[in-house]
Amino acid sequence: MATLETRILNILGDRTAAVLEKSFGITTVNELLRHYPRRYEVRGELTDISTLIADDEVTILAQIERVSLRRANGKNILEVIVTDGSANLSLTFFNQAWREKELKAGRVGLFAGKVGVFKGKRQLSHPDYQMVPDGDDVDAAVAEFAGKFLPVYPATAKLPSWKVMQCMKLVTDSLDEIADYLPSELITKYKYPSLKQAFIDIHQPKELINAEQARLRLTFDEALLLQLLLGQRRAEIIKLSTKHRTPNTPVLVKAFEDRLPFKYTDGQQIVNEEIAKDLSNKYPMHRLLQGEVGSGKTVVALRAMLSVVDSGGQAALLAPTEVLAQQHFRTIKKLLGELADSGTLQAGEISTSVELLTGSMSAATKRAIHARLASGEIGIVIGTHALMSDGVEFEDLGLVVVDEQHRFGVEQRDALRMKAKQPPHLLVMTATPIPRTVAMTVFGDLDISTLRELPGGRSPIQTHLIPVLEKPHYLDRAWERVREEVGKGHQVYIVAPRIVNPDKKLTEREMHAAQMLGEEFLDNQNMTAVEELAPELATGALKGLKIAMLHGRQSSEEKDQTMIAFASGEIDVLVATTVIEVGVDVPNASMMVIMDAERFGVSQLHQLRGRVGRGGVPGLCLLVTAAAEQTQSMERLIAVSQTLDGFELARIDLEQRKEGDVLGSSQSGGKSHLRLLRVLRDEDLIESAREDALNLLKSDPTLSMHDQLLLEVEKLKDQESSAFMDKS
């Protein structure tokens, strides 16, 4: 009999086991059982073809209506029309005429592939299929390879859904009793099935209600484990002791505020107070500061850093990229003026030293900064990952500010905190607005402050779609608009998804061939590249304008030079990749054109367009896309064009993602412990799991009385750290 730890190799054939491992990283019974079906087909009911959506990976049950073979472009094209009784779908095979023997009109089969659109018609090209054995009674024949409900699994070309289904059957049939980690009082409270029953019910449900119950329980498990992990983490933080950082004489803070050319917004005022209170505690602050781009987070963070310096400590600001670190450095130097010039002739009476530390600096420069950090001479250091490298030591690091949380894992932010002699206070800033449940789930170990209003003087951004498939001439109009904007003395960003195209552009003939192979191929070949677009515009539509490029393959000096030139207005149009996504601040930039906009996520687009309309000039953002109407991609772009509410957009973004992705652990693929939980849909479940987790931890803080549960929490913890390792 098999246990959860049994290797699937011992149950399934070598080849199947190898494919499962390669496709999904599945090696054990436990991992296989956690490869859940997406949905269920009901035996005897053909899939409703009218509901299929372009770009979806589908497995459908359908009947073959007719088959035809023709020749085009030197290829044999086998076209199979399948039907659900009302709607049709076309399946195409190139140069595989022999399939005609299997694919006979009248037969029923399962067909799996990605829904493509060709000449306006939906189709599957080269689908995998499994024909239902011939016979008068289709129902009975289908029942042979499953019960009443056919689970449909996430599948790959090598491993279609029905193969997974067969593996699952073999595994569940040989499964021994398994220990259930969920405390029995919770099983009773929610009337959940046992773990083993849940596995059986989700893979081979007798009735759909059983599958639903099973899914609910397995989703709850995920929510509970996560809340236990976060609860424990939080308890550990509160147990830590550190120095409080309330300055006796807040001279720098005062001098800084005197210099500020504006008043804090009410929101900033409140957050300043929250932070001051946290810093006065003897355990480390652990706070998330969220607010839209431009809501004034940096100013708030700087005030916090200055108050730590006032109390005799040091502060570090960690940025995700060099461009951002450099920009923070410039902004902060500017805001501080002579207050940041300690040790120089310009220094005022009250001052500290503010330095930049990034990986691209010379070894000698770095060493000099390391020495001054270790001696405590530098009060505020701003930098990238370089801050976490071995040579960096602080005299007394009191506060770590992390910009753009989602780019750093928990482990990474901890790496910098380890550099402090006592646990430092932590302030995490993010410009991606986070709905409440997500915040509670993902950042459950952080307190949260939110800046909702933008400081005055910001103008709204207008966003329009340029659907190049339907309205190619709109693109010409867009370039004209760029010229007009520059004519008014403003500047423009043009964003493209990649730096260079590895392959040359396709000829018309190649393009046609690509189309025959399906959209995917076409898309990848034609993604706009910065290094092609910039020269093309410079000699074409935008001739005469000053155009520069900015992207990740340039040296950081080059990037910095370009940003400085753009900021000072020497460049009209900056053609860039998403390196400009976060934080870049050029108030005179009023327009942005985003090429292949469907390539970017909702939140990312929102972040990108936040770069314009910062200087009291109305911002304009054009989303250029070849996405077809009524695709998911198009729906997302429409949403972005219709609202400026970052919270709403974050919601839309998250609705399509799973918890694992939110946590940044999607990389761990087949092994992920969080695969069912969805932060928005499962809001109620998360709330109750949180409550249950807190109760459990109250009576059993170390989970020593729940050893099975503890084991699962530990696994989740390991997985989080290995997800971090994968990414770094």
Which of the stretches 158-166, 370-378, 570-578, 580-588 binds Mg ion when contact is defined by CB under 5 A? 580-588
Smallest separation (angstroms) from ligand ADP to the CB of 534: 27
Kindly identify the residues of this chain, within the stretch 363-422, that bind Mg ion according to CB under 5 A: none
Q: At what angle do helices 138-145 and 161-173 cross, to 10 degrees?
A: 60
Question: Which of the residues 328 through 347 are near Mg ion (CB under 5 A)?
Answer: none
Are 344 and 601 in contact by the 8 Å Cβ rule? The answer is no
Burial class (CB in 10 A: 0-12, 13-18, 19+), 636: buried
Alpha-carbon distance of 150 to 143, in angstroms, equals: 9
- Shortest Å, Cβ 490 to ligand ADP: 17
Q: How far is the CB of 378 from ligand ADP (least distance, A)?
A: 22
662 binds, among Mg ion, ligand ADP, none (CB under 5 to 8 A by kind): none
Inter-CA distances, 314 with 305, 306, 377, 393, 402, Å: 8, 9, 9, 11, 14
Q: How far is the CB of 28 from ligand ADP (least distance, A)?
A: 45
Number of residues that bind Mg ion (CB under 5 A): 2
Report 19-38 residues binding Mg ion (CB under 5 A). Answer: none
Alpha carbon distance 584, 496 (integer Å): 16
619 binds, among ligand ADP, Mg ion, none (CB under 5 to 8 A by kind): none
Residues belonging to the chain: 728
264 binds, options Mg ion, ligand ADP, none, Cβ within 5 to 8 A by partner type: ligand ADP
- Cβ-in-10-Å burial (0-12, 13-18, 19+) of 215 comes to middle
Residue 295 contacts which entry, Mg ion, ligand ADP, none (Cβ below 5-8 A, type-dependent): ligand ADP
Shortest CB 450 distance to ligand ADP, Å: 11
Site for Mg ion contains 295 (CB under 5 A): no
Query: Under DSSP, is residue 500 helix (H, G, I), strand (E, B) or coil?
Result: coil
Nearer to ligand ADP, 257 or 531 (CB): 257
Residues 6+ apart with CB under 8 A from 542: 479, 482, 483, 573
**Percentages helix, strand, coil for the chain, rounded to the nearest 5?**
45, 20, 35
Question: Which one of 145, 190, 264, 647 is in contact with ligand ADP (CB under 6 A)?
Answer: 264
- Residue 313 interacts with ligand ADP (CB under 6 A): yes or no: no
3-state secondary structure of 564: helix
What's the CA gap between 172 and 156, in Å, rounded? Answer: 22
Task: State the DSSP code for 597.
Answer: G
| Number of chain residues interacting with ligand ADP (CB under 6 A) | 14
Q: What is the DSSP letter of 40?
A: E
Assign residue 495 a region: left if phi > 0, alpha if psi is -120 to 50, beta otherwise? beta
Q: How far is the CB of 600 from Mg ion (least distance, A)?
A: 20
Q: Residue 298 interacts with Mg ion (CB under 5 A)? A: yes
Bridge-based pairing state of the strands 149-152 and 39-42: antiparallel
CB hemisphere CA count around 579 (13 angstroms): 25
268 binds ligand ADP (CB under 6 A): yes
- Of residues 416 through 455, those in contact with ligand ADP by CB under 6 A are 455
Q: Is 583 in the site for Mg ion (CB under 5 A)?
A: yes
Closest distance to ligand ADP from the beta carbon of 535 (Å): 32
Residue from 47, 156, 265, 441 touching ligand ADP (CB under 6 A): that is 265
Contact between 330 and ligand ADP by CB under 6 A: the answer reads no
Please identify, among the stretches 71-79, 257-265, 466-474, 531-539, the one whose residues bind ligand ADP according to the rule CB under 6 A.
Answer: 257-265
Q: In the complex with ligand ADP, which residue's Cβ is closer, 455 or 669?
A: 455
Which partner in ligand ADP, Mg ion, none is near 268 (CB below 5 to 8 A by kind)? ligand ADP
Q: Which is nearer to ligand ADP, 38 or 263 (CB)?
A: 263
Query: Footprint of ligand ADP on residues 278-307 (CB under 6 A)?
Result: 291, 293-299
Question: Which residues are CB-neighbours of 614 under 8 A, at least 6 positions away?
Answer: 294, 458, 585, 586, 587, 589
Q: Which residues bind ligand ADP (CB under 6 A)?
A: 262-265, 268, 291, 293-299, 455
Q: Which residues bind Mg ion (CB under 5 A)?
A: 298, 583
